[in-house]
Amino acid sequence: MAKPLVIVESPAKAKTLGRFLGKDYRVEASYGHIRDLPESAADVPKKIKQEEWGRLGVNVEKDFEPLYVIPSEKKKQVAHLKSLAKDASALLLATDPDREGEFIAWRLAEIFNEAGYSNICRISFHEITKPAILESISERGSINDSLVDAAKVRRFMDRLVGFRSSKFSRSWNLAAMGRVQTPTLGFIVDRELEREAFVPIPYYAVHADAGGIRWNAIFHDKGDADAWVDDKGKFHSNRTNNQPLAQSAFDSLASEGSLTISSVDESTYQRNPKPPFTTDTLLMSIGSEKGWNPRRTMRIAG
């Protein structure tokens, strides 16, 4: 009897899913990326290796046309997955629910389509539990093209900026540029441009510390002509452009030498709980609070 073939990224996850799904499913691993920009010169076809862009894998002169190859060490696994797909009732791509996972699912779907297989679906889950996995299977969908495009852009930037920057930095005995550094460099440049374009808006504020609490002088209501707003249009009642007004408040506080509470207003407010953890937010939260590495966190969560 034909069974659905479920494909995940790692053999460890394949083993876990296989235990949850039982004998009604066949679960296999892709072992990460199975078709990508060339990592080794040995994977570049001879006719392209001669080209200047061949090693980078992105042809800038031809509308950024990429060169995708199956690495030599992955060809055996790809052939294995294609052979299993022959007898599968459906192909369920269960790679990680992020940009990289979507890219891997897209490449797998492409390879299976080229081999003439159909009934290819994308399933995605954010927790490795039997109910979550079964729900993702029942709500199977398609590949998110936007995430795939994001992964493509990251790869192109890695090659066109990261690789070249690494070559330059190594010539100066500096650390190589990595995948994280490439987008980070873009963030830094954007913030620097914002800093250069920033026009400071001066203001005056008066406060006093009493009883372990900081008390701010309130100068304006939101609709006042002299109300102070920042460059994003946010109103601040404890700031003013009126220097004499601020000086008067300061002098009054200095002469009195004390603060008197004349009235107290009570109010209630509603605070919503934080949303449930996803895998990403769980790893970030535990990593920052406990200092645990992802492997330990996922082992305990599992």
The pLDDT of residue 51 is 80
Q: Angle 130-138/11-21 helices, nearest 10 degrees?
A: 80
Task: State the burial class of residue 227 (Cβ atoms within 10 Å of its Cβ: 0-12, 13-18, 19+).
Answer: middle
C-alpha–C-alpha distance, residues 170 and 176, integer Å: 6
Residue with tokens 């899913």: 17
| 79 CB-side CA count, 13 A | 6
- pTM of the entire structure? 0.58
Whether the Cβ atoms of residue 158 and residue 137 lie closer than 8 Å to each other: no
C-alpha–C-alpha distance, residues 176 and 260, integer Å: 61
C-alpha–C-alpha distance, residues 199 and 33, integer Å: 47
Task: State the burial class of residue 251 (Cβ atoms within 10 Å of its Cβ: 0-12, 13-18, 19+).
Answer: exposed
Low-confidence ranges of the chain (pLDDT < 70): 174-182
- E strands, the chain, are 3-8, 26-29, 58-59, 65-66, 88-93, 120-122, 207-210, 213-216, 227-229, 235-240
Closest CA to 208 of 259, 265, 261: 259
Identity of the amino acid at 248: S
The pLDDT of residue 177 is 63
Cα dihedral 71, 77, 82, 88, rounded to 10, equals: -140
The pLDDT of residue 17 is 92
The pLDDT of residue 179 is 61
The pLDDT of residue 137 is 92
Q: What sign has the CA pseudo-torsion 127, 128, 134, 136?
A: positive
The pLDDT of residue 182 is 64
Maximum separation of any 2 CA atoms in the chain, in Å: 91
